[in-house]
A and B are shown apart, each in its own frame.
Chain A
Amino acid sequence: MLRFFLKRTVAIIPLVLLVSLICFALMQATPGGPVGMFSANPMVGPEDVARIRANFGFDQPVIVQYGLWLKRVLLHGDFGHSYVTGEPVIEMIWQRLPATLELMGAAFLLAFLFGLSGGIVAALKRYTKFDSVIMMVTLFGISIPVFWLGLMSMMLFTVKWRLLPSAGMFALGVPFSVLDHLRHLLMPSLVLSLLFIASWSRYMRASLSDVLSMNYINVARAKGATRGSVVFRHAVRNAAIPVLTVIALNLPALFTGSIITETIFAWPGMGRLFYDGLLRQDYTRLMGIIFIASALIAILNLIADTIYGFLDPRIRLAR
């Protein structure tokens, strides 16, 4: 088990490096490079641009710059300073990371609970009215774009019925209360999770339906195992394995959704930080966020792989 884990850990390192190298090279390939934003500024002449390029080391080959950048990142955790605000990028990310993780964590939890239980119930009541209702709802769930869902729920819950706040993490000018915070969290996390609730429950239904028709389930039934024991101890455990792959594959999508959700609901997380960076062409910030996001996804994938190996002995014994 330990060897399996270590092997997987080693495998993710080149991945993160490659992604960051590609982004780094692209950043240099922009018209005018990272100082391109000055090209439209009449106060900044060509000699100033040349001076800035030399100061920041932009005149060196990309691979050298990347090496220096990577060295600073790995040795000192230093992603450089924002071109726009001058703050260290790592501090900006550090401030925003908890909000993003909270939003994503809440959405993940909702998706996990409702998605899997919805799928289990649908599979157990396959081909009934209840099943077709769930399938219909999840069909729309996987088809609605996150941002439009956000806009529509904002229109209904905030503008029309005035039930939930539409922006931020806390009410302004009011002392902090957990309830208020949860009220702010509810709509963004639901909006973000709907896609995953829908798609995971569809996968769970398909997977569990397959497992329930297997011979060993009949054997378990024939041996007189109770219905609950058959479903949960024998069927769901095995049905969960392929679903887990889908969940791991969906992690990048969860990040994607969080950029859009945070932008719409003014949730002060990494997605919003990224979006602001895009608007202001703050390349050091963008690089830092892409690096951290891919590292996070890689780590989460690693955890999923480990759980996967834990659930299915064939996987860890095969290597």
Chain B
Amino acid sequence: MAFSTPVLDSPVRSGRPRAQVVQTVHPLRDTLLSMPTRATRGGERNYFSSVLKRSPLAYAAFIVMSLVVLGAVFAPLMSPYDKDKIDLTSQYLPPSLAHPFGTDDLGRDIFVRVMHGGRISLAVGFLAMLVALVIGVAAGGIAGYYGRWIDTVLMRAVDLVLAVPVFFVILFLSSVVSPKVSIPAVCLMIGCTQWMEVARLVRAVVMSTKEHEFVDAARTMGLPDRRIIVRHLLPHTTAPVLVAVTLGLAQAIIIESGLSFLGFGIQPPTPSWGAMLQNAQSYLSDCPWIAVFPGLMICLTVVCCNVLADFLGEAMSPAGRTSR
């Protein structure tokens, strides 16, 4: 028997029996093409919101996280007190109606500072993850697509950073730059230590996806590698990367708060949740509220990130929909 192989469908790696190759048109092609994309997107959104409502924990986390973000965004509009103004007549006031979270050692309102601190802590977290995302996607995409020695070198780099006590190195770096560590520098340093997970995930997905026929088709059409990676391969990594980034956001917030707590991150008087805890240890016995509230905000935010990451992982992976 002789088969005439269609020119358009001649990828070398196709493992399918040749007889099926002839049928190149998907049976539902016309239906699929005629479906408006808007509607599909709306459907996707409805799917998410319906799943979200069925998972009360994730729903609660979503609401709390939204409140925290809104509080941070609109902090300047909702502050009855100046966040930095030192008021020696109202030092060490316990929580009350006038000061819901009390006041600190310089008489500043802790509630106002916590909301403003959210601006810094969340911004640092998001920016750091943006840095991590860029490095991770680039490294993972290149390693996964090209393979061979580039892959070896990049994955060795991942192993290297994973095996280094990065917190020591970040502290060392900040002390080198100190006393003025700028906020972008903090974001950059944290981002440089959080990209490995993203890189690994992207690499794995790209490696498996590039074996598909549409990639061969794109190559046959003469698309440059960069375009194939960015337009055809990277979109497939969205789901796992989104989960990793959400988890990484939690990590970035924790690292920033640890750095600032030790005095090598955000510098006072700029409030960040960690920086507000810097001197809290001295006041533990007499005014614990100085230590309690900023830390509570860190925990709340990080718990929400972790819950949402879990939820996203389950909602977005096809396996998660059925097995968990």
Contacts and interface: CB of A to CB of B under 8 A. Distances in A.
Given A146-B258, A148-B299, A281 B175 contact: yes
Interface in A135-173: 139-140, 142-148, 151-152, 154-155, 159
Interface of B: 159-160, 162-169, 171-173, 175-176, 250, 254, 257-258, 261-264, 274, 277, 280-281, 284-285, 288, 291-292, 295, 298-299, 302-303, 306-307
29 contacts: A26-B172, A26-B176, A29-B176, A139-B303, A139-B306, A140-B299, A142-B306, A143-B303, A145-B302, A148-B291, A151-B277, A152-B291, A152-B292, A159-B288, A252-B162, A252-B166, A252-B167, A255-B165, A256-B165, A260-B261, A275-B171, A278-B264, A281-B175, A286-B172, A289-B168, A293-B165, A293-B168, A297-B164, A298-B163
B311 to A, nearest CB: 12
Interface of B is mostly: helix
A152 B296 CA distance: 10
Interface in A295-311: 297-298, 301
Nearest to A286: B172
A29 B172 CA distance: 12
Interface in A103-160: 139-140, 142-148, 151-152, 154-155, 159
A38 to B, nearest CB: 16
Contacts of B262: 147, 259-260, 263, 275, 278
A143 B163 contact: no
B291 A278 contact: no
A143 B165 contact: no
Q: Which 5 A-B pairs have the closest CB atoms?
A: A148-B295, A256-B167, A143-B302, A143-B303, A278-B175
Contact of B165 (A154, A278, A294): A294
Contact of B295 (A142, A152, A294): A152
Contacts of B173: 26
B258 A147 contact: yes
Contacts of A26: 172-173, 176
Nearest to A249: B162
Interface residues of A, number: 45
Interface stretch (A15-23, A58-66, A73-81): A15-23
Nearest to A280: B175
B258 A145 contact: yes
A290 interface: yes
A16 to B, nearest CB: 9
Interface of A: 12, 15, 18-19, 22-23, 26-27, 29-30, 139-140, 142-148, 151-152, 154-155, 159, 249, 252, 255-256, 259-260, 263-264, 274-275, 278-279, 281, 286, 289-290, 293-294, 297-298, 301
A128 B267 CA distance: 46
A268 B168 CA distance: 17
A63 B261 CA distance: 35
B292 A290 contact: no
B281 A148 contact: no
Contact of B164 (A19, A145, A146, A275): A19
B284 A145 contact: no
A273 B317 CA distance: 46
A286 B197 CA distance: 28
A279 B264 CA distance: 9
B7 to A, nearest CB: 40
A293 B281 CA distance: 27
A243 to B, nearest CB: 16
Contact of B169 (A23, A144, A146, A154): A23
Nearest to A19: B164
A297 B277 contact: no
A15 B307 CA distance: 35
